[in-house]
Chain A
Amino acid sequence: MNTAYNFAFFDEGSKREIRRATLKAIAIPGYQVPFASREMPIGRGWGTGGLQLTLSLIGKDDVLKVIDQGSDDSVNAVNIKKLVFDTTGVETTDETREATLIQSRHRIPEVSLSKDQILILQVPIPEPLRYYEPSESETKKFHAEKEYSGAWLMLFEQIMKYGSMTTGADHPVLVHDRYVMAPSPIPRFDNPKMDESEALILLGAGREKKVYAVPPYTKVVSLDFEDFPFEPESFEDKECRLCGSTGVFLDELVDEATDETVYQCNDTSYCLEKLNAVGVK
Protein backbone atom coordinates (compact mmCIF):
# COMPACT_ATOMS: atom_id res chain seq x y z
CA MET A 1 0.00 0.00 0.00
CA ASN A 2 1.30 3.41 -0.98
CA THR A 3 1.49 5.52 2.17
CA ALA A 4 2.18 8.76 0.32
CA TYR A 5 -1.60 9.16 0.03
CA ASN A 6 -4.33 9.11 2.61
CA PHE A 7 -6.32 5.85 2.75
CA ALA A 8 -8.33 5.57 -0.47
CA PHE A 9 -6.53 8.48 -2.14
CA PHE A 10 -8.87 11.24 -0.92
CA ASP A 11 -8.61 13.19 2.29
CA GLU A 12 -11.32 12.38 4.82
CA GLY A 13 -13.23 15.61 4.17
CA SER A 14 -13.58 14.83 0.49
CA LYS A 15 -14.82 11.32 1.18
CA ARG A 16 -17.33 12.67 3.64
CA GLU A 17 -18.68 15.19 1.13
CA ILE A 18 -19.17 12.47 -1.48
CA ARG A 19 -20.83 10.17 1.07
CA ARG A 20 -23.16 12.98 2.11
CA ALA A 21 -24.24 13.44 -1.51
CA THR A 22 -24.65 9.67 -1.74
CA LEU A 23 -26.90 9.56 1.31
CA LYS A 24 -29.08 12.25 -0.18
CA ALA A 25 -29.20 10.33 -3.46
CA ILE A 26 -30.36 7.20 -1.63
CA ALA A 27 -32.99 9.18 0.23
CA ILE A 28 -34.44 10.50 -3.06
CA PRO A 29 -34.35 7.53 -5.47
CA GLY A 30 -33.44 8.54 -9.01
CA TYR A 31 -32.78 12.21 -8.17
CA GLN A 32 -29.48 13.58 -9.43
CA VAL A 33 -27.57 15.08 -6.52
CA PRO A 34 -24.84 17.54 -7.47
CA PHE A 35 -21.48 16.97 -5.81
CA ALA A 36 -18.00 18.48 -5.95
CA SER A 37 -16.38 16.12 -8.44
CA ARG A 38 -12.69 16.00 -7.61
CA GLU A 39 -9.57 16.05 -9.72
CA MET A 40 -8.50 12.45 -10.22
CA PRO A 41 -5.38 10.77 -11.52
CA ILE A 42 -7.50 9.63 -14.48
CA GLY A 43 -9.30 11.89 -16.93
CA ARG A 44 -12.91 12.94 -16.50
CA GLY A 45 -15.14 10.74 -18.59
CA TRP A 46 -13.03 7.68 -17.84
CA GLY A 47 -14.96 6.50 -14.82
CA THR A 48 -14.14 9.23 -12.32
CA GLY A 49 -17.72 9.36 -11.04
CA GLY A 50 -17.76 5.68 -10.23
CA LEU A 51 -14.23 5.78 -8.87
CA GLN A 52 -15.02 8.63 -6.50
CA LEU A 53 -18.00 6.69 -5.15
CA THR A 54 -15.83 3.60 -4.74
CA LEU A 55 -13.07 5.50 -2.95
CA SER A 56 -15.49 7.30 -0.65
CA LEU A 57 -17.17 4.03 0.40
CA ILE A 58 -14.32 1.55 0.54
CA GLY A 59 -13.16 0.24 3.91
CA LYS A 60 -10.37 -2.10 4.92
CA ASP A 61 -12.65 -5.16 4.95
CA ASP A 62 -14.11 -4.59 1.49
CA VAL A 63 -13.49 -6.80 -1.49
CA LEU A 64 -13.46 -4.93 -4.78
CA LYS A 65 -14.42 -6.03 -8.27
CA VAL A 66 -14.17 -3.73 -11.28
CA ILE A 67 -15.81 -4.52 -14.61
CA ASP A 68 -15.51 -2.71 -17.91
CA GLN A 69 -18.26 -3.69 -20.35
CA GLY A 70 -18.48 -7.12 -18.79
CA SER A 71 -14.75 -7.73 -18.68
CA ASP A 72 -12.59 -7.87 -15.56
CA ASP A 73 -9.39 -7.69 -17.54
CA SER A 74 -9.76 -4.67 -19.79
CA VAL A 75 -7.27 -1.83 -19.41
CA ASN A 76 -9.74 0.51 -17.76
CA ALA A 77 -10.88 -2.02 -15.19
CA VAL A 78 -7.36 -3.18 -14.38
CA ASN A 79 -6.05 0.32 -13.90
CA ILE A 80 -8.89 1.39 -11.65
CA LYS A 81 -8.38 -1.77 -9.62
CA LYS A 82 -4.66 -1.02 -9.37
CA LEU A 83 -5.24 2.54 -8.22
CA VAL A 84 -7.66 1.49 -5.50
CA PHE A 85 -5.40 -1.38 -4.40
CA ASP A 86 -2.37 0.90 -4.32
CA THR A 87 -4.03 3.44 -2.06
CA THR A 88 -6.03 1.09 0.17
CA GLY A 89 -4.50 -2.36 0.04
CA VAL A 90 -7.94 -4.00 -0.05
CA GLU A 91 -8.46 -7.35 -1.64
CA THR A 92 -9.63 -7.40 -5.27
CA THR A 93 -11.47 -10.19 -7.00
CA ASP A 94 -12.99 -11.27 -10.30
CA GLU A 95 -15.69 -13.37 -8.62
CA THR A 96 -18.96 -11.48 -8.47
CA ARG A 97 -20.20 -13.33 -5.38
CA GLU A 98 -17.11 -12.55 -3.33
CA ALA A 99 -17.11 -8.82 -3.96
CA THR A 100 -18.68 -6.34 -1.57
CA LEU A 101 -18.13 -3.36 -3.86
CA ILE A 102 -18.56 -3.75 -7.59
CA GLN A 103 -17.65 -0.84 -9.82
CA SER A 104 -18.92 -1.36 -13.32
CA ARG A 105 -18.88 0.36 -16.65
CA HIS A 106 -22.04 -0.34 -18.63
CA ARG A 107 -23.00 -3.80 -17.36
CA ILE A 108 -24.78 -5.35 -14.40
CA PRO A 109 -23.28 -8.79 -13.65
CA GLU A 110 -25.22 -11.91 -14.67
CA VAL A 111 -25.06 -13.34 -11.16
CA SER A 112 -27.81 -11.68 -9.17
CA LEU A 113 -26.47 -9.42 -6.47
CA SER A 114 -27.18 -9.75 -2.74
CA LYS A 115 -28.04 -7.26 -0.04
CA ASP A 116 -24.43 -7.23 1.18
CA GLN A 117 -23.17 -5.85 -2.09
CA ILE A 118 -23.08 -2.37 -3.59
CA LEU A 119 -23.05 -1.88 -7.34
CA ILE A 120 -21.44 1.33 -8.56
CA LEU A 121 -22.10 2.34 -12.16
CA GLN A 122 -20.06 4.84 -14.13
CA VAL A 123 -22.24 7.37 -15.95
CA PRO A 124 -21.27 9.55 -18.90
CA ILE A 125 -24.54 11.51 -19.26
CA PRO A 126 -26.75 11.42 -16.15
CA GLU A 127 -29.53 13.57 -17.59
CA PRO A 128 -32.14 11.43 -19.40
CA LEU A 129 -33.68 14.54 -21.00
CA ARG A 130 -30.42 16.00 -22.29
CA TYR A 131 -30.99 15.35 -25.99
CA TYR A 132 -34.50 16.76 -25.70
CA GLU A 133 -33.52 19.89 -23.81
CA PRO A 134 -29.90 21.10 -23.76
CA SER A 135 -30.37 23.56 -20.90
CA GLU A 136 -29.66 22.24 -17.41
CA SER A 137 -31.86 24.83 -15.70
CA GLU A 138 -34.77 23.74 -17.92
CA THR A 139 -34.30 20.02 -17.30
CA LYS A 140 -34.11 20.71 -13.57
CA LYS A 141 -37.53 22.32 -13.82
CA PHE A 142 -38.84 19.33 -15.78
CA HIS A 143 -37.70 16.99 -13.01
CA ALA A 144 -39.18 19.21 -10.32
CA GLU A 145 -42.53 19.33 -12.11
CA LYS A 146 -42.41 15.66 -13.12
CA GLU A 147 -42.73 16.73 -16.73
CA TYR A 148 -41.35 13.78 -18.63
CA SER A 149 -43.09 14.03 -22.00
CA GLY A 150 -39.62 14.63 -23.49
CA ALA A 151 -38.40 11.20 -22.43
CA TRP A 152 -41.35 9.50 -24.09
CA LEU A 153 -41.12 11.81 -27.08
CA MET A 154 -37.58 10.62 -27.79
CA LEU A 155 -38.84 7.03 -27.80
CA PHE A 156 -41.81 8.05 -29.98
CA GLU A 157 -39.43 9.59 -32.50
CA GLN A 158 -37.46 6.34 -32.67
CA ILE A 159 -40.66 4.42 -33.37
CA MET A 160 -41.64 6.93 -36.06
CA LYS A 161 -38.23 6.69 -37.70
CA TYR A 162 -37.33 3.05 -37.31
CA GLY A 163 -40.53 1.24 -36.38
CA SER A 164 -39.41 0.27 -32.88
CA MET A 165 -37.60 1.67 -29.87
CA THR A 166 -33.94 1.64 -30.78
CA THR A 167 -32.17 2.56 -27.56
CA GLY A 168 -29.29 0.11 -27.58
CA ALA A 169 -28.23 1.18 -24.14
CA ASP A 170 -29.26 3.76 -21.56
CA HIS A 171 -32.99 3.13 -22.02
CA PRO A 172 -34.64 5.57 -19.58
CA VAL A 173 -36.36 4.22 -16.47
CA LEU A 174 -38.90 5.59 -14.03
CA VAL A 175 -37.71 5.14 -10.44
CA HIS A 176 -40.16 4.74 -7.59
CA ASP A 177 -42.92 6.32 -9.72
CA ARG A 178 -41.26 9.69 -9.48
CA TYR A 179 -37.98 10.46 -11.22
CA VAL A 180 -37.04 9.44 -14.75
CA MET A 181 -33.42 8.33 -14.63
CA ALA A 182 -30.68 7.42 -17.08
CA PRO A 183 -29.60 3.94 -15.96
CA SER A 184 -26.11 4.62 -17.48
CA PRO A 185 -25.38 2.94 -20.82
CA ILE A 186 -26.19 -0.57 -19.65
CA PRO A 187 -27.88 -2.67 -22.36
CA ARG A 188 -31.67 -2.90 -22.18
CA PHE A 189 -31.05 -6.48 -21.11
CA ASP A 190 -29.84 -5.23 -17.73
CA ASN A 191 -32.67 -2.76 -17.06
CA PRO A 192 -34.97 -5.34 -15.40
CA LYS A 193 -32.15 -6.28 -13.00
CA MET A 194 -32.49 -2.85 -11.41
CA ASP A 195 -36.11 -3.44 -10.46
CA GLU A 196 -36.45 -4.53 -6.82
CA SER A 197 -32.71 -5.14 -6.72
CA GLU A 198 -31.44 -6.55 -3.43
CA ALA A 199 -28.17 -4.67 -3.77
CA LEU A 200 -27.83 -0.91 -3.48
CA ILE A 201 -27.10 0.62 -6.88
CA LEU A 202 -25.16 3.89 -6.99
CA LEU A 203 -24.49 5.87 -10.14
CA GLY A 204 -21.75 8.46 -10.41
CA ALA A 205 -21.02 10.96 -13.19
CA GLY A 206 -17.64 12.59 -12.60
CA ARG A 207 -17.61 14.94 -15.55
CA GLU A 208 -21.21 16.05 -15.00
CA LYS A 209 -20.75 16.16 -11.21
CA LYS A 210 -23.84 14.17 -10.30
CA VAL A 211 -24.53 11.24 -8.02
CA TYR A 212 -27.78 9.28 -7.99
CA ALA A 213 -29.02 6.00 -6.62
CA VAL A 214 -31.49 3.16 -6.71
CA PRO A 215 -31.91 1.93 -3.14
CA PRO A 216 -32.56 -1.78 -2.53
CA TYR A 217 -36.09 -3.03 -3.26
CA THR A 218 -37.07 0.01 -5.33
CA LYS A 219 -39.47 -0.12 -8.24
CA VAL A 220 -37.68 0.59 -11.50
CA VAL A 221 -39.79 0.58 -14.67
CA SER A 222 -38.39 1.00 -18.18
CA LEU A 223 -40.34 3.59 -20.17
CA ASP A 224 -42.53 2.27 -22.96
CA PHE A 225 -45.88 2.64 -24.72
CA GLU A 226 -49.06 0.59 -24.43
CA ASP A 227 -48.68 -0.74 -27.97
CA PHE A 228 -44.88 -0.78 -27.95
CA PRO A 229 -43.90 -2.52 -24.71
CA PHE A 230 -40.32 -2.45 -23.47
CA GLU A 231 -38.32 -5.45 -24.66
CA PRO A 232 -34.81 -6.41 -23.65
CA GLU A 233 -32.40 -7.72 -26.28
CA SER A 234 -33.25 -11.29 -27.14
CA PHE A 235 -30.67 -14.05 -27.54
CA GLU A 236 -33.11 -16.80 -28.27
CA ASP A 237 -31.63 -19.92 -29.87
CA LYS A 238 -28.13 -18.66 -29.18
CA GLU A 239 -25.58 -19.83 -26.65
CA CYS A 240 -22.09 -18.95 -25.51
CA ARG A 241 -19.52 -20.77 -27.67
CA LEU A 242 -17.28 -21.27 -24.66
CA CYS A 243 -19.50 -22.22 -21.74
CA GLY A 244 -22.78 -22.91 -23.52
CA SER A 245 -24.79 -20.51 -21.36
CA THR A 246 -28.17 -19.32 -22.56
CA GLY A 247 -30.34 -16.49 -21.30
CA VAL A 248 -27.35 -14.20 -20.67
CA PHE A 249 -26.11 -11.14 -22.53
CA LEU A 250 -23.99 -12.36 -25.44
CA ASP A 251 -21.42 -10.57 -27.57
CA GLU A 252 -21.70 -11.16 -31.28
CA LEU A 253 -18.32 -11.92 -32.82
CA VAL A 254 -17.36 -12.70 -36.37
CA ASP A 255 -14.72 -15.33 -36.92
CA GLU A 256 -12.81 -13.71 -39.74
CA ALA A 257 -11.20 -16.93 -40.92
CA THR A 258 -14.49 -18.72 -41.51
CA ASP A 259 -16.76 -15.64 -41.75
CA GLU A 260 -19.02 -17.28 -39.19
CA THR A 261 -20.95 -15.40 -36.53
CA VAL A 262 -20.34 -16.72 -33.04
CA TYR A 263 -21.64 -15.68 -29.65
CA GLN A 264 -19.84 -15.44 -26.36
CA CYS A 265 -20.73 -14.37 -22.80
CA ASN A 266 -20.19 -10.67 -22.29
CA ASP A 267 -19.67 -11.20 -18.55
CA THR A 268 -16.21 -12.82 -18.49
CA SER A 269 -16.25 -13.78 -14.83
CA TYR A 270 -19.60 -15.54 -15.24
CA CYS A 271 -18.27 -17.43 -18.27
CA LEU A 272 -15.11 -18.46 -16.41
CA GLU A 273 -17.13 -19.67 -13.45
CA LYS A 274 -19.28 -21.82 -15.77
CA LEU A 275 -16.21 -23.22 -17.49
CA ASN A 276 -14.59 -24.09 -14.16
CA ALA A 277 -17.75 -25.86 -13.01
CA VAL A 278 -17.73 -27.90 -16.21
CA GLY A 279 -14.07 -28.75 -15.60
CA VAL A 280 -14.91 -30.24 -12.18
CA LYS A 281 -17.33 -32.73 -13.75
Chain B
Amino acid sequence: MTEFEVPVLSVKNLNKQFGLGCPHCKNGESETLVKNYCQVCGTVYACRDVSFDVFPGEVLGIVGESGSGKSTLMQCLYFDQDVTDGEAFVSAYENGEKNLFQESSQQQRYIRNHIMGKVYQNPLLGLRMNFSSIGNIAEKLIAAGSNHVGMMEGRGTELLNKVNIPVHRRKEAPKKFSGGMQQRVQIAKALSNNPPLLLLDEVTTGLDLSVQASVLDLIKSLQRELNISIVLVSHDLGVIRMLADRTLVMLEGKVIEEGLTDQILEDPQHPYTQQLVHSLL
Protein backbone atom coordinates (compact mmCIF):
# COMPACT_ATOMS: atom_id res chain seq x y z
CA MET B 1 0.00 0.00 0.00
CA THR B 2 1.16 3.50 -0.69
CA GLU B 3 1.29 6.29 1.85
CA PHE B 4 -1.86 7.77 0.40
CA GLU B 5 -3.99 4.81 1.22
CA VAL B 6 -3.36 4.58 4.95
CA PRO B 7 -6.73 5.12 6.63
CA VAL B 8 -7.04 7.78 9.33
CA LEU B 9 -9.44 5.58 11.22
CA SER B 10 -9.91 1.90 10.82
CA VAL B 11 -12.63 0.03 12.67
CA LYS B 12 -12.72 -3.75 12.66
CA ASN B 13 -15.53 -6.02 13.84
CA LEU B 14 -16.94 -3.63 16.38
CA ASN B 15 -19.63 -5.17 18.56
CA LYS B 16 -21.67 -3.45 21.21
CA GLN B 17 -24.43 -5.14 23.15
CA PHE B 18 -26.48 -3.96 26.08
CA GLY B 19 -27.18 -6.96 28.27
CA LEU B 20 -25.35 -10.22 28.77
CA GLY B 21 -26.96 -12.26 26.01
CA CYS B 22 -28.31 -15.77 26.49
CA PRO B 23 -27.92 -19.14 24.71
CA HIS B 24 -30.94 -18.23 22.56
CA CYS B 25 -29.48 -15.12 21.01
CA LYS B 26 -25.73 -15.71 21.12
CA ASN B 27 -25.36 -16.94 17.56
CA GLY B 28 -26.79 -13.78 16.05
CA GLU B 29 -29.37 -15.18 13.63
CA SER B 30 -31.61 -16.73 16.24
CA GLU B 31 -35.41 -16.72 16.02
CA THR B 32 -35.76 -15.17 19.44
CA LEU B 33 -34.33 -11.93 18.05
CA VAL B 34 -36.85 -9.30 17.02
CA LYS B 35 -34.74 -6.92 14.97
CA ASN B 36 -31.74 -6.60 17.29
CA TYR B 37 -33.61 -7.26 20.53
CA CYS B 38 -33.64 -10.67 22.22
CA GLN B 39 -37.08 -11.50 23.55
CA VAL B 40 -35.78 -14.06 26.00
CA CYS B 41 -33.09 -12.12 27.88
CA GLY B 42 -33.79 -8.54 26.79
CA THR B 43 -30.34 -7.99 25.31
CA VAL B 44 -30.02 -5.29 22.68
CA TYR B 45 -27.39 -5.82 20.01
CA ALA B 46 -26.69 -2.19 19.15
CA CYS B 47 -23.72 -2.71 16.83
CA ARG B 48 -23.03 -6.02 15.18
CA ASP B 49 -19.73 -6.66 13.47
CA VAL B 50 -19.26 -3.13 12.15
CA SER B 51 -16.09 -2.58 10.10
CA PHE B 52 -15.03 0.42 8.03
CA ASP B 53 -12.11 2.66 7.11
CA VAL B 54 -11.96 6.43 6.88
CA PHE B 55 -9.27 7.91 4.64
CA PRO B 56 -7.54 11.30 4.92
CA GLY B 57 -9.77 14.19 3.94
CA GLU B 58 -12.73 11.90 3.39
CA VAL B 59 -16.25 12.38 4.70
CA LEU B 60 -17.88 9.10 5.61
CA GLY B 61 -21.64 9.24 6.04
CA ILE B 62 -23.59 6.78 8.16
CA VAL B 63 -27.34 6.58 7.61
CA GLY B 64 -30.00 4.42 9.11
CA GLU B 65 -33.30 4.60 10.92
CA SER B 66 -33.41 5.55 14.58
CA GLY B 67 -32.32 2.64 16.72
CA SER B 68 -30.02 1.24 14.07
CA GLY B 69 -26.91 1.80 16.18
CA LYS B 70 -25.46 4.91 14.56
CA SER B 71 -25.12 6.97 17.69
CA THR B 72 -23.94 4.04 19.77
CA LEU B 73 -21.22 3.50 17.20
CA MET B 74 -20.16 7.13 17.52
CA GLN B 75 -20.19 6.95 21.30
CA CYS B 76 -17.97 3.89 21.16
CA LEU B 77 -15.54 5.67 18.86
CA TYR B 78 -15.33 8.62 21.24
CA PHE B 79 -15.01 6.29 24.26
CA ASP B 80 -18.23 7.55 25.79
CA GLN B 81 -19.17 3.89 25.97
CA ASP B 82 -17.09 0.74 26.21
CA VAL B 83 -17.30 -1.66 23.30
CA THR B 84 -18.20 -5.28 23.86
CA ASP B 85 -15.45 -6.29 21.48
CA GLY B 86 -13.76 -5.09 18.35
CA GLU B 87 -10.79 -3.04 17.30
CA ALA B 88 -10.11 0.50 16.16
CA PHE B 89 -6.90 2.05 14.93
CA VAL B 90 -6.06 5.68 14.38
CA SER B 91 -3.07 6.50 12.19
CA ALA B 92 -2.17 9.54 14.30
CA TYR B 93 -1.76 7.41 17.43
CA GLU B 94 1.15 4.96 17.76
CA ASN B 95 1.31 4.70 13.96
CA GLY B 96 -2.09 3.07 13.95
CA GLU B 97 -0.69 -0.09 15.50
CA LYS B 98 -2.53 -0.06 18.81
CA ASN B 99 -6.14 -1.04 19.34
CA LEU B 100 -7.75 2.04 20.88
CA PHE B 101 -10.33 0.07 22.78
CA GLN B 102 -7.60 -1.76 24.70
CA GLU B 103 -5.79 1.37 25.81
CA SER B 104 -6.11 2.69 29.35
CA SER B 105 -8.76 5.30 30.03
CA GLN B 106 -5.94 7.81 30.54
CA GLN B 107 -4.67 7.09 27.01
CA GLN B 108 -8.19 7.17 25.61
CA ARG B 109 -8.60 10.60 27.17
CA TYR B 110 -5.36 11.63 25.43
CA ILE B 111 -6.65 10.40 22.08
CA ARG B 112 -9.95 12.24 22.57
CA ASN B 113 -8.20 15.44 23.52
CA HIS B 114 -5.50 15.41 20.88
CA ILE B 115 -6.72 13.46 17.87
CA MET B 116 -10.49 13.68 17.83
CA GLY B 117 -13.24 16.23 17.97
CA LYS B 118 -16.88 15.42 18.43
CA VAL B 119 -20.05 17.37 17.91
CA TYR B 120 -23.05 15.93 19.71
CA GLN B 121 -26.62 16.13 18.55
CA ASN B 122 -27.46 17.71 21.90
CA PRO B 123 -25.23 20.72 22.69
CA LEU B 124 -25.77 20.03 26.41
CA LEU B 125 -23.46 17.03 26.08
CA GLY B 126 -20.68 18.80 24.25
CA LEU B 127 -20.62 22.18 25.97
CA ARG B 128 -20.38 23.53 29.48
CA MET B 129 -23.42 25.74 29.43
CA ASN B 130 -22.37 27.95 32.33
CA PHE B 131 -18.88 28.71 31.10
CA SER B 132 -18.23 31.36 28.46
CA SER B 133 -18.15 30.33 24.80
CA ILE B 134 -14.50 31.19 24.51
CA GLY B 135 -13.89 29.25 27.73
CA ASN B 136 -15.54 26.24 26.15
CA ILE B 137 -13.11 26.41 23.28
CA ALA B 138 -10.22 26.97 25.67
CA GLU B 139 -11.24 23.85 27.59
CA LYS B 140 -10.44 21.69 24.58
CA LEU B 141 -7.20 23.61 23.96
CA ILE B 142 -6.10 23.28 27.59
CA ALA B 143 -6.87 19.57 27.45
CA ALA B 144 -4.66 19.35 24.36
CA GLY B 145 -1.79 20.97 26.27
CA SER B 146 -2.06 24.73 25.71
CA ASN B 147 -1.01 26.98 28.54
CA HIS B 148 -1.05 30.43 26.97
CA VAL B 149 -4.09 32.62 27.52
CA GLY B 150 -3.33 35.02 24.67
CA MET B 151 -2.93 32.20 22.18
CA MET B 152 -6.14 30.48 23.32
CA GLU B 153 -8.13 33.68 23.23
CA GLY B 154 -6.84 34.41 19.73
CA ARG B 155 -7.62 30.94 18.48
CA GLY B 156 -11.05 30.97 20.13
CA THR B 157 -11.94 34.31 18.62
CA GLU B 158 -10.75 33.18 15.20
CA LEU B 159 -12.90 30.05 15.37
CA LEU B 160 -15.97 31.84 16.67
CA ASN B 161 -15.54 34.22 13.77
CA LYS B 162 -15.43 31.30 11.40
CA VAL B 163 -18.67 29.88 12.75
CA ASN B 164 -20.31 33.31 12.62
CA ILE B 165 -20.69 33.98 16.33
CA PRO B 166 -20.34 37.75 16.83
CA VAL B 167 -17.03 38.51 18.54
CA HIS B 168 -18.67 40.71 21.16
CA ARG B 169 -20.67 37.72 22.41
CA ARG B 170 -17.65 35.44 22.86
CA LYS B 171 -17.63 35.86 26.63
CA GLU B 172 -21.25 34.91 27.00
CA ALA B 173 -22.30 31.46 28.16
CA PRO B 174 -23.81 29.15 25.51
CA LYS B 175 -26.95 28.81 27.62
CA LYS B 176 -27.83 32.32 26.48
CA PHE B 177 -27.56 31.30 22.82
CA SER B 178 -30.10 29.83 20.44
CA GLY B 179 -29.86 26.14 19.51
CA GLY B 180 -28.18 26.90 16.20
CA MET B 181 -25.61 29.14 17.82
CA GLN B 182 -24.89 26.53 20.47
CA GLN B 183 -24.34 23.98 17.75
CA ARG B 184 -21.89 26.32 16.03
CA VAL B 185 -20.00 26.91 19.28
CA GLN B 186 -19.79 23.15 19.61
CA ILE B 187 -18.32 22.87 16.14
CA ALA B 188 -15.78 25.59 16.94
CA LYS B 189 -14.84 23.71 20.12
CA ALA B 190 -14.45 20.41 18.31
CA LEU B 191 -12.21 22.02 15.69
CA SER B 192 -10.07 24.03 18.11
CA ASN B 193 -7.13 21.64 18.37
CA ASN B 194 -7.07 20.85 14.63
CA PRO B 195 -8.09 17.23 15.06
CA PRO B 196 -7.34 14.93 12.13
CA LEU B 197 -10.65 13.22 12.81
CA LEU B 198 -14.02 14.82 13.48
CA LEU B 199 -17.09 12.89 14.61
CA LEU B 200 -20.42 14.54 13.86
CA ASP B 201 -23.53 13.01 15.38
CA GLU B 202 -26.75 14.36 13.85
CA VAL B 203 -25.42 17.92 13.94
CA THR B 204 -28.28 19.49 12.06
CA THR B 205 -31.22 17.59 13.47
CA GLY B 206 -33.57 19.96 15.21
CA LEU B 207 -32.22 23.09 13.57
CA ASP B 208 -34.37 25.16 11.27
CA LEU B 209 -33.64 24.96 7.56
CA SER B 210 -31.69 28.19 7.12
CA VAL B 211 -29.49 27.48 10.14
CA GLN B 212 -29.13 23.91 8.94
CA ALA B 213 -27.86 25.15 5.62
CA SER B 214 -25.34 27.52 7.18
CA VAL B 215 -24.05 24.84 9.58
CA LEU B 216 -23.64 22.38 6.69
CA ASP B 217 -21.97 25.04 4.62
CA LEU B 218 -19.60 25.72 7.44
CA ILE B 219 -18.70 22.06 7.92
CA LYS B 220 -18.11 21.63 4.22
CA SER B 221 -15.87 24.67 3.91
CA LEU B 222 -13.90 23.84 7.07
CA GLN B 223 -13.42 20.30 5.88
CA ARG B 224 -12.09 21.51 2.50
CA GLU B 225 -9.90 24.13 4.12
CA LEU B 226 -8.36 21.97 6.85
CA ASN B 227 -8.58 18.64 5.03
CA ILE B 228 -9.89 16.81 8.08
CA SER B 229 -11.58 13.44 7.94
CA ILE B 230 -15.15 13.33 9.13
CA VAL B 231 -17.47 10.57 10.24
CA LEU B 232 -20.95 11.94 9.83
CA VAL B 233 -24.02 10.33 11.27
CA SER B 234 -27.44 11.39 10.06
CA HIS B 235 -30.82 9.99 9.20
CA ASP B 236 -31.28 12.84 6.76
CA LEU B 237 -30.31 11.74 3.26
CA GLY B 238 -30.13 15.36 2.11
CA VAL B 239 -27.31 16.00 4.57
CA ILE B 240 -25.56 12.84 3.51
CA ARG B 241 -25.89 13.72 -0.16
CA MET B 242 -24.42 17.14 0.40
CA LEU B 243 -21.48 16.18 2.59
CA ALA B 244 -20.53 12.54 2.38
CA ASP B 245 -18.11 11.06 -0.16
CA ARG B 246 -18.86 7.53 0.89
CA THR B 247 -21.80 6.15 2.83
CA LEU B 248 -22.62 3.22 5.08
CA VAL B 249 -26.21 2.17 5.57
CA MET B 250 -26.98 0.64 8.95
CA LEU B 251 -29.99 -1.43 9.94
CA GLU B 252 -30.54 -3.25 13.21
CA GLY B 253 -26.93 -2.71 14.24
CA LYS B 254 -25.43 -4.10 11.03
CA VAL B 255 -23.88 -2.43 8.02
CA ILE B 256 -26.11 -3.58 5.19
CA GLU B 257 -24.71 -1.56 2.37
CA GLU B 258 -21.71 0.61 1.70
CA GLY B 259 -20.40 2.53 -1.27
CA LEU B 260 -20.00 5.90 -2.91
CA THR B 261 -22.80 8.21 -1.84
CA ASP B 262 -23.97 8.80 -5.41
CA GLN B 263 -24.06 5.11 -6.07
CA ILE B 264 -26.11 4.39 -2.99
CA LEU B 265 -28.58 7.14 -3.70
CA GLU B 266 -28.94 6.38 -7.42
CA ASP B 267 -28.72 2.61 -7.37
CA PRO B 268 -29.52 1.19 -3.94
CA GLN B 269 -29.10 -2.59 -3.71
CA HIS B 270 -30.54 -3.61 -0.36
CA PRO B 271 -34.34 -3.50 0.01
CA TYR B 272 -34.11 -1.25 3.06
CA THR B 273 -31.86 1.23 1.27
CA GLN B 274 -34.23 1.22 -1.68
CA GLN B 275 -37.11 1.99 0.64
CA LEU B 276 -35.06 4.72 2.32
CA VAL B 277 -34.07 6.36 -0.94
CA HIS B 278 -37.56 6.17 -2.38
CA SER B 279 -39.11 7.72 0.68
CA LEU B 280 -36.93 10.77 0.18
CA LEU B 281 -39.29 13.67 -0.44
Residues of A within 8 A of B (CB): 132, 141, 144-147, 149-150, 152-153, 156-157, 159-161, 225-228
B105 proximity list for chain A (CB < 8 A): 141, 144-145
Interchain nearest-CB distance for A227 vs B (Å): 5
CA A144 to CA B131, docked complex, whole Å:
24
B152 proximity list for chain A (CB < 8 A): 156
Residues B149 and A159 in contact, CB atoms below 8 Å apart: yes
Listed by A's residue number, 18 A-B pairs whose Cβ atoms lie within 8 Å are A132-B128, A144-B105, A144-B106, A147-B143, A149-B113, A149-B140, A152-B147, A153-B131, A156-B138, A157-B131, A160-B153, A160-B171, A161-B132, A226-B148, A226-B149, A227-B148, A227-B150, A228-B149
Contact of B149 among A141, A147, A150, A227 (CB under 8 A): A227
**Additional 6 contacts, C-beta under 8 A, given A225-B149, A226-B147:** A147-B143, A153-B131, A156-B135, A156-B142, A157-B131, A227-B149
Contact of B132 among A146, A160, A225 (CB under 8 A): A160
Interchain nearest-CB distance for B188 vs A (Å): 15
Query: Does B139 reach chain A (CB closer than 8 Å)?
Result: yes
- Chain B interface, DSSP helix/strand/loop, else mixed: helix
Contact of A149 among B106, B139, B148, B149 (CB under 8 A): B139
Interchain nearest-CB distance for B249 vs A (Å): 36
Query: Does B109 reach chain A (CB closer than 8 Å)?
Result: yes
Of the candidates B113, B135, B149, the one having the most CB atoms from chain A within 10 angstroms of its own CB is B149
How many B residues, CB 8 Å from partner?
A: 21
Residues A149 and B143 in contact, CB atoms below 8 Å apart: yes
CA A147 to CA B109, docked complex, whole Å:
8
Query: Does B77 reach chain A (CB closer than 8 Å)?
Result: no
Query: Does B83 reach chain A (CB closer than 8 Å)?
Result: no
CA A147 to CA B139, docked complex, whole Å:
11
By beta carbon, the residue of chain A nearest B109 is A145
Query: Does B134 reach chain A (CB closer than 8 Å)?
Result: yes
Which positions 94-109 of chain B face chain A at CB distance < 8 Å?
105-106, 109
